[in-house]
Amino acid sequence: MTDAVPTPEGPHAGGKGLAKSAGALAGLKVIDLTRVLGGPYCTMILSDHGAEVVKIEPPQGDEVRDWGPPFVEGSASYFIGVNRNKRSLALDLGKPEGRAVLMRLLEGADVLIENYKPGAMEKWGMGYADVLSKRFPTLVHCRVSGFGPDGPLGALPGYDAVIQAMVGLMSINGNAETGPLRMGTPIVDLATGLYSAIGILMALQERNRSGQGQFLDMSLHDCGMALLHPQAANYFLNDRRPKATGNPHPNISPYSKYRTATCEVFLAVGNDPAFRKFCDFLSLKSLPDDARFRTNGDRLANRDQLTEIIEARLAAEDGHALCDRLLKAGVPAGPVLHVDEAMNAAHTAHREMVTELGAYRGLGTPIKMSRTPGGTRAAPPRFNEHGDDILARHGFTADEVNELKAKGIVVGTRRT
């Protein structure tokens, strides 16, 4: 355990969505060897809530620093969006001296997370079973990979869109006209980050009882497949191939997007009592007793006719005002907003879901805790921004640090 990264203070204390406590994970030390998205998203969740995350980048840097435009100070938005609150050290682990540095950094660490190809850590003499678990028995080691270490696809590379295709997520997105579509957000990478954070916290909770760490085998394949609800549940019961339905829900109606005079809206009417309330609100009181629409099953079978009736009724309505009135009446509804509109919505500001610290802006933490609220503590780090300080805090002398730099083990400027 180490001292927690302090909460913001001084000239930036007046930002938005900032941490107001040391955090629920204060004292937790995480060594982060991950790049791109799933692993960094996981460690940002942990760092938002007080964990000290040491992000170790390869000499070339995390490649998503280049995934732009847009860029700020040489780093792309893709990097900036998932790396706040971390401290950066650039280390060449391809050399024995770099791996020796890593082993010193692991002393006192609670969590190691990496997304190297399965077998890489073993090849470097740092496998969990043979080395790390014996030298650091309380360490939780989380590995993120595409398909896991074994099986027909074991140790093969995996990427978000490829996994979306392979686990069926693309097949249920879109509609009959579009065919399978990649989801617009990298849902598999993000879900893997979330599942990894949950798994790490589970392992730490179990460690409180047993005193022992353990190894977490997290794969994009498994995490992507775990998102197939209700399509997998439907398939397990009816043995039918799920189809892409576009906006309409495969199991519920009315549960889709509808046109109004001013904007499109999404209605989520999930049961028969809600349908009656919805129809009463819109003065469509005869619909619940219409044989075509009495039950959810009836409404699914006659979805097209119901859509025509609803859109005819909404044709003269201001969608934004209508949704406000529906929500206040207890009927789930919302306008279909663009990203810029959602970022600037009043409730977004109220919930501090846009965070600001100096020039940095990002999405705030969705985890709201009463006693130990998390949030932004520091902007995403520049490449090797904290290298000297990290090494000094782990007992490296100035001469040792200079020698590591001279040998190219610690890297100050990204290699191309």
Chain centroid to CA 266: how far?
A: 24
C-alpha–C-alpha distance, residues 175 and 177, integer Å: 5
Distance in angstroms (rounded) separating the CA atoms of residues 79 and 83: 6
Crossing angle (nearest 10°) for helices 319-328 and 272-281: 130
SS3 state of residue 331: coil
Please list, in sequence order, all residues whose beta carbon lies within 8 angstroms of the beta carbon of residue 123, skipping any fewer than 6 positions away. Answer: none
Whether residue 140 contacts residue 207, with contact meaning beta carbons closer than 8 Å, is answered with yes
Within 10 angstroms of residue 375's Cβ, the number of other Cβ atoms is 25
> Annotated catalytic residue: which of 189, 289, 290, 389?
189
Beta-strand pair 360-363/354-357: antiparallel
What are the C-alpha distances in Å from 361 to residues 170, 264, 270, 355? 31, 29, 36, 6
**Residue (of 250, 227, 246) closest to 238 by Cα position:** 250
Say if CB 309 and CB 292 are below 8 A apart.
no
Residue pair 64/37 in contact (Cβ under 8 Å)? The answer is yes
**End-to-end CA gap in the chain:** 36
DSSP 16: B
- The type of residue at 38 is G
**43, 138, 214 from 209: Cα distances, Å:** 24, 12, 13
- Rounded to whole angstroms, how far apart are CA atoms 325 and 235? 37
CB 7 within 8 A of CB 377: yes
What are the helix (H) ranges across 21-159?
38-48, 77-80, 96-105, 120-123, 133-135
How is residue 78 written in tokens? 């893709």
189 is catalytic: yes
Half-sphere exposure (CA, 13 Å, Cβ side) for 189?
Answer: 22
Q: Which residue has the tokens 């355990």?
A: 1
**Which residues are the active-site residues?**
189
